[in-house]
Structure 1
Amino acid sequence: MMENVHLAPETDEDDLYSGFNDYNPAYDTEELENDTGFQQAVRTSHGRRPPVTAKIPSTAVSRPIATGYGSKTSLASSMGRPMTGTIQDGVARPMTAVRAAGFSKAALRGSAFDPLGQSRGPAPPLEAKNEDSPEEKIRQLEKKVNELVEESCIANSCGDLKLALEKAKDAGRKERVLVRQREQVTTPENINLDLTYSVLFNLASQYSANEMYAEALNTYQVIVKNKMFSNAGRLKVNMGNIYLKQRNYSKAIKFYRMALDQIPSVHKEMRIKIMQNIGITFIKTGQYSDAINSFEHIMSMAPNLKAGFNLILSCFAIGDREKMKKAFQKLIAVPLEIDEDDKYISPSDDPHTNLLVEAIKNDHLRQMERERKAMAEKYIMTAAKLIAPVIESSFAVGYNWCVEVVKASQYVELANDLEINKAITYLRQKDFNQAVDTLKMFEKKDSRVKSAAATNLSFLYYLENEFAQASSYADLAVNSDRYNPSALTNKGNTVFANGDYEKAAEFYKEALRNDSSCTEALYNIGLTYKKLNRLDEALDSFLKLHAILRNSAQVLCQIANVYELMEDPNQAIEWLMQLISVVPTDSQALSKLGELYDSEGDKSQAFQYYYESYRYFPSNIEVIEWLGAYYIDTQFCEKAIQYFERASLIHRGPAYALWELQERKRKEQRNY
């Protein structure tokens, strides 16, 4: 084969382009397709040999090299051209691919550039996982168990307890299969204990949620008795809770104490909660002294509102006055751990600060703080009302002691509420003079307390039909707090009593604007519209009230009465039927039903309800007369005579009835 020889023209030494066309012939790729030696090398495994890393001396250039077919040829002769400069100099060049990657000169001439080789078809697929291997089966089964546990928890949070239990059981079954497969493949030390623990714990929780307490206890026992589960002893708290629900108080206390022994002292909060459960269990068993010891320990270590209130209840149960006082003082001293309200209301010159205050004024943290404060006030007010009558010689002295303690605490604003509650207690004891005297003490207090006291005074005077005094204190209450719905309602009542229904309706409307849930104002405005003969508006008011108070007999009666005034007896009957379902022994409602059925011409239904009304109240003249007339119409005169005789006795009065009975006794004695 002829060698390609490239000749360069002779040029002058100063030629700028001298040597431009001089290059190593090894890089000539123009005639590779016609080079038989190169094509033979391509077809053999020569191009796939690893690169040469050692130096090749220049004397080894003509050494025979084995080809893929076993023949030995000279490298120089097989290539058909002189060796490159690198080989000739004795330096080994790394062996590269013989063929270009993804393109060729011919391809460039006839087709578009395709570096990814898409024109040659899709790439060969990746090596697929061996899904039949034991490790892969175990991995997939473990993933399925985790998914089932998660689905069980989600179903429980959504309220579907039955589905949650089914998922938990399914997870338990698959987890046991997983353990058996792991034991066959690996050593027992490689078993996933965390997964086993979570499956069993979730199953026990779902049993407990479905009130399957025996199964839950058995599952908890499996966890607790397994020494491989660390910190499993604290689950005895859950077992104690189940025994508490089953009212097995002795076992509940036993398991609470076992859990307390196994929880280290560093977990202070959990130990306090367990001790609180122990104290509550002691209360349920009537062991108040033991309960007091538990709650006193809690109040000395980490005081909280619930423990303090329970301590007061326990001391009240044993009647220990001094302990009640000390417990009340401990309850008052419990820190609320909430921020002051000033930062929510104080204005600032900085607009960014004002925006921040608006943003946090009603956020979740602020709502939580309000709930905590409201709970604390509720506990303190309830405790004061409970112990005030018993801690001193009289109710008033005990209440005064509670008020003084509250005034010296962080709950100063509760002192006025306690004073007002003291007046209300006087009302319950029918001591109106003391109630009035107590409430009059607030006439010089701040606006909120003054409004509450004046509202109660207005209510008292209204009950005693002293409308002038009631109106005066109602004005004082409204002026002190214009947004007090109770004060506006009482003012409307005093105006209603004077016959000014339009003005009374305005006060009731204003009360409803301030508090749309003020049922007293809504009921009274319905009565006002009835007086004004605005029946549609009255009906609308009572129907709104019925949506709030579903089983209020008064509201049902008013709705039936409005329908009767609107000359719709069918609707009136329907609402009266709802009324007697709430109060089945109301003789007035039964007689009204009889009257409506009688007006509709249904004598049999009318007789049934009139007779029921007579059974519950046999002294209604109108009912007795109707029954007598009914028996006359049906030609049962003897029965009619009995009813008319009873009516005559009632009409003549109790003296005549007594004389009549005496005469009957004399006649019976003479006949005897």
Structure 2
Amino acid sequence: MYAEALNTYQVIVKNKMFSNGGRLKVNMANIYLKQRNYSKAIKFYRMALDQIPNVHKEMRIKIMQNIGVAFIKTGQYTDGISSFEHIMSTSPNLKAGFNLILCYFAIGDREQMKKAFQKLITVPLEIDYDDKYISPNDDPHTNLLIEAIKNDQLRQMERERKGMAEKYIMTAAKLIAPAIETSFAIGYDWCVEVVKASHYVELANDLEINKAITYLRQKDFYQAVETLKMFEKKDSRVKSAAATNLSFLYYLENELAQAANYADLAVNSDRYNPSALTNKGNTVFANGDYEKAAEFYKEALRNDSSCTEALYNIGLTYKKLNRIDEALDCFLKLQAILRNSAQVLYQIASLYLLLGPDDYLAIWTVSSDPTLPMLFITKIMFLSPSLFCQSYRYFPSNIEVIEWLGAYYIDTQFCEKAIQYFERAALIQPTQVKWQLMVASCYRRSGNYQKALDTYKEIHRKFPENVECLRFLVRLCTDMGLKEVQEYVTKLKRVEKLKEIREQRVKSGRDGSARSRREGSGSGDSGGSAKGERLSAKLRALPGTNEPYESSGNKEIDASYVDPLGPQTERPKTAARKRMDEDEFADEELGEDLLPE
């Protein structure tokens, strides 16, 4: 209830005797910030800053940080830089340093990005490092004390702060590396050198690996491999990460021997690395040893139960071993983790295919991929309408599914149900007249002639030269005995005549070009005569003249049409008695016993 809160705060801060008005104005500014009223938020933050004394240093720093964030939200990066520079010069912190880098990146100032990154690196974390958690001797009492404080709340807070600092530094380095130098590689090298000179030395290796991954994104596999090979003599964690990437690269290039060597190196360097175990399983799988590959995938899942790659690959392994139920169990677990993954759903569907039609239909209790019916339509002849209805419910913009459902309901003589699907198709493809014609035809087939007429009129308004629509209008107006029939007959004649003139013009253009190529230029008189005839034909074809329409004389209009939905299926005939025009007993005399009493 932001409006009520603001009114209440306003009443309080108007009282001059209240000494904590500055604090309440911070609350008001926070509300305006939530409402995205950034100009008012900045105004109240500044008013609060004026009223809060300098002794409350931490509060003032937080207010200035909020002012800087509001300036970023409004795109005023220069003003935001002023706020964050003041914070970094008086009381530096990680958030302010990272936001300062973002502001300089937004305005494209390379030199200031470098300076801001160096300031971020030097922000003190105010935490103790791991030295105090190492026992200096074998004193049992000291060892017990160290074990007690290794994972207490203070230690957890220190780890969180360190993790946040590493995240900010890594993100900032990845952001500015391509922007501060002529190439991203030189930018990464500069960031690595700066990080190595700080107390975040271990982050330098992570930045080098990120550099290799950037090479991969740019499809520069050679440079990626060369960068990763530099880590073969590093410590075990970094070596395992680099060897894992190298193994996968060689696997993609189908160099299985090299992939296996680096997979072994990765596993030996860090036996608990799930990615390394998954890559090792991949190399064994490629050699056809599916049982052994499954063991590596299982070990990867034991080390990290959320390793979706290992779970997917073990499902494929069980499928190869014809253990369909176990494979299906793996992919169903994976589907609960990766909702709407097309690859996972495809595998589930293919496994149900192997189990049989009844089991395949059960997939729609767990599936939400709209494309699966179309993927398997060529394979499965027992598809039921429920599959397409389910697909339409999850993805109502698939034209193939919409068309199938509309045609199905027309075949089963439920034209009213088909209307909603063709209307949806008309919304998706508004320039395709066929969907709107199908809607009108459904109305006509269901007996709602007035609605069909209105729909055809709307189609004619959007597509005035559509001959098929005009033929339907002529036929309907004739059947309903409406006076508008003559108007539509005239329009139909005009459109057909224009269509005929266009066709003749195209045909004569083709014939003329062919004749000129064969015979060359003709005589001047005949050319002038032909030119005059073409000119008079053009004049007669102008919409403002009546000649082309009257010249047709009493020519009978062709109001025949072809239903876009095909011939109408006859409904079963009922046993209703035919209406008789004459009385069957007209010639018979009724006796007195048959007369009413």
Both structures adopt the same fold (TM-score exceeding 0.5): yes
Q: Letter of the 1:436 partner, please give it.
A: V
> Which among 207, 229, 242 is matched to residue 418 of structure 1?
207
The equivalent residue for 2:438 is none
By how many angstroms is 1:420 displaced? 0.2
The equivalent residue for 1:572 is 360
CA contact (8 A) 1:275 1:294 kept: yes
The equivalent residue for 2:457 is none
The equivalent residue for 2:498 is none
Mapped partners of 1:304, 1:614: distance in 2: 51
Q: Letter of the 1:278 partner, please give it.
A: I
By how many angstroms is 1:475 displaced? 1.1
Mapped partners of 1:576, 1:554: distance in 2: 16
The equivalent residue for 2:177 is 388
CA contact (8 A) 1:594 1:606 kept: no
The equivalent residue for 1:523 is 312
The equivalent residue for 1:221 is 10
CA contact (8 A) 1:458 1:472 kept: yes
1:265 has 2:49 as partner: no
> Which among 501, 509, 512 is matched to residue 298 of structure 2?
509
Residues 440-479 of structure 1 mapped to structure 2, 5 A cutoff:
440-479=229-268
1:374 has 2:135 as partner: no
Please give the secondary structure, in 2, of the residue aligned with 1:397. helix
The equivalent residue for 1:337 is 126
By how many angstroms is 1:614 displaced? 11
1:537 has 2:321 as partner: no
The equivalent residue for 1:436 is 225
> Which among 347, 366, 383 is matched to residue 558 of structure 1?
347
The equivalent residue for 1:355 is 144
Structure 1 pair 362–593 and aligned structure 2 pair: CA distance change class (3 A): farther
CA offsets per residue over residues 228-254 of structure 1, 9 Å max, x none? 322123210111111112222221111
Normalised by the length of structure 2, the TM-score is 0.64
By how many angstroms is 1:545 displaced? 1.8
Mapped partners of 1:242, 1:331: distance in 2: 30
CA contact (8 A) 2:373 2:388 kept: no
By how many angstroms is 1:257 displaced? 0.7
The equivalent residue for 1:364 is 153
CA contact (8 A) 2:353 2:360 kept: yes
Structure 1 pair 308–605 and aligned structure 2 pair: CA distance change class (3 A): closer
Structure 1 pair 293–608 and aligned structure 2 pair: CA distance change class (3 A): closer
Would you identify which runs of 4 or more consecutive aligned residues in structure 1 move more than 3 Å? 345-348, 576-579, 593-596, 604-617, 668-672
The equivalent residue for 1:133 is none
CA contact (8 A) 2:328 2:348 kept: yes
Please give the secondary structure, in 2, of the residue aligned with 1:410. coil
CA offsets per residue over residues 599-656 of structure 1, 9 Å max, x none? 47x5x66899999999659xxxxx9xxx9xxx9xxxxxxxxxxxxxxxxxxxxxxxxx
CA contact (8 A) 1:388 1:395 kept: yes
Structure 1 pair 534–296 and aligned structure 2 pair: CA distance change class (3 A): same
RMSD: 2.9
CA contact (8 A) 2:177 2:187 kept: yes
The equivalent residue for 1:491 is 280
Q: Letter of the 1:590 partner, please give it.
A: M
CA offsets per residue over residues 552-599 of structure 1, 9 Å max, x none? 2222222232233233x33422325754x33x2x3x542426754x34
The equivalent residue for 2:374 is 590
Mapped partners of 1:614, 1:341: distance in 2: 58
Residues 240-279 of structure 1 mapped to structure 2, 5 A cutoff:
240-279=29-68
The equivalent residue for 2:117 is 328
Please give the secondary structure, in 2, of the residue aligned with 1:489. helix
Please give the secondary structure, in 2, of the residue aligned with 1:499. coil
CA contact (8 A) 1:594 1:605 kept: no
Residues 630-641 of structure 1 mapped to structure 2, 5 A cutoff:
none
Number of aligned residues: 407
Mapped partners of 1:244, 1:491: distance in 2: 51
Residues 130-141 of structure 1 mapped to structure 2, 5 A cutoff:
none
Please give the secondary structure, in 2, of the residue aligned with 1:399. helix
By how many angstroms is 1:466 displaced? 1.4
Mapped partners of 2:387, 2:334: distance in 1: 30
Mapped partners of 2:189, 2:173: distance in 1: 10
Give the percent of matched residue pairs that are identical in Structure 1 and Structure 2.
80
The equivalent residue for 2:186 is 397
By how many angstroms is 1:461 displaced? 1.1
Whose radius of gyration is greater, 1 or 2?
1
Residues 188-199 of structure 1 mapped to structure 2, 5 A cutoff:
none
Mapped partners of 1:610, 1:234: distance in 2: 55
Please give the secondary structure, in 2, of the residue aligned with 1:560. helix
Query: Larger relative contact order (C-alpha < 8 A, sep ≥ 6)?
Result: 2
Gaps of 5+ in 2: 412-502, 512-597
Please give the secondary structure, in 2, of the residue aligned with 1:563. helix
Q: Letter of the 2:328 partner, please give it.
A: L
CA contact (8 A) 2:240 2:276 kept: yes
Please give the secondary structure, in 2, of the residue aligned with 1:435. helix
Structure 1 pair 573–613 and aligned structure 2 pair: CA distance change class (3 A): farther
Please give the secondary structure, in 2, of the residue aligned with 1:430. coil
By how many angstroms is 1:352 displaced? 2.2
CA contact (8 A) 1:563 1:572 kept: yes
CA offsets per residue over residues 166-219 of structure 1, 9 Å max, x none? xxxxxxxxxxxxxxxxxxxxxxxxxxxxxxxxxxxxxxxxxxxxxx22211101
The equivalent residue for 1:201 is none
Q: Letter of the 2:40 partner, please give it.
A: K
Structure 1 pair 413–282 and aligned structure 2 pair: CA distance change class (3 A): same
Mapped partners of 1:607, 1:295: distance in 2: 56
Q: Letter of the 2:374 partner, please give it.
A: L
Structure 1 pair 256–566 and aligned structure 2 pair: CA distance change class (3 A): same
Structure 1 pair 246–615 and aligned structure 2 pair: CA distance change class (3 A): closer
Mapped partners of 1:419, 1:330: distance in 2: 21
CA contact (8 A) 1:399 1:422 kept: yes
Mapped partners of 1:548, 1:297: distance in 2: 45
CA contact (8 A) 2:22 2:49 kept: no
Structure 1 pair 385–614 and aligned structure 2 pair: CA distance change class (3 A): closer
CA contact (8 A) 1:344 1:361 kept: yes
By how many angstroms is 1:278 displaced? 0.5
Normalised by the length of structure 1, the TM-score is 0.57
CA contact (8 A) 2:364 2:390 kept: no
CA contact (8 A) 2:21 2:51 kept: no
By how many angstroms is 1:344 displaced? 2.7
CA contact (8 A) 1:467 1:494 kept: yes
CA contact (8 A) 1:462 1:470 kept: yes
CA offsets per residue over residues 489-542 of structure 1, 9 Å max, x none? 001001111111011011111111111111110110111011111222212222
Q: Letter of the 2:358 partner, please give it.
A: N
Please give the secondary structure, in 2, of the residue aligned with 1:289. helix
CA contact (8 A) 1:591 1:609 kept: no
By how many angstroms is 1:346 displaced? 3.7
Residues 28-427 of structure 1 mapped to structure 2, 5 A cutoff:
212-346=1-135, 348-427=137-216
Mapped partners of 1:301, 1:613: distance in 2: 56
Residues 591-606 of structure 1 mapped to structure 2, 5 A cutoff:
591-592=375-376, 595-596=379-380, 598-599=381-382
Q: Which moved more, 1:264-273 or 1:349-358?
A: 349-358
CA contact (8 A) 1:522 1:541 kept: yes
CA contact (8 A) 2:364 2:387 kept: no
Please give the secondary structure, in 2, of the residue aligned with 1:369. helix
